[in-house]
Amino acid sequence: MSISQKIRSLHCGFQRGLGFEVIAGENCILIKNVPFELEGIIAKWIDELPIELMSGPVALVKLYPTEGMALTESGWSAFISWMTETLNSAQHEPNFPLKVRQSAKSSAQ
């Protein structure tokens, strides 16, 4: 993991908070500043968004010419809601206890 990845990782760099900033008068987080561990998941989540949520007043994602792609504050909120729902659903899967134990053992090594 590179230093720039560590700085924005949930594990090492999250203490400094999320990298929200105001761009064109809107509070947002650039995709390049989201927690490193979530970057791929967020990219896939964005790919599945309906086109009407990619522009206009209710946009969850915006493309800024010089800064790059960003999640709006509403976009970040929608992603976190989806992620929470997904994690809550996973707890009801029959193999959830086994996956927790396996993951915890792997992390402890």
* In the chain, where the domains are located: 3-108
pTM over 0.75: yes
For 93, residues 6+ apart whose C-beta sits below 8 A from its C-beta are 99
Summarize pLDDT for 81-97 with one digit per residue, the tens. 999 999 999 999 999 99
Beta bridge partners of 70: 30, 62
For residues 53-72, give the mean pLDDT. Answer: 90
Summarize pLDDT for 34-45 with one digit per residue, the tens. 988 899 999 999
Q: What is the dihedral of CA 92, 98, 11, 8, to 10 degrees?
A: -60
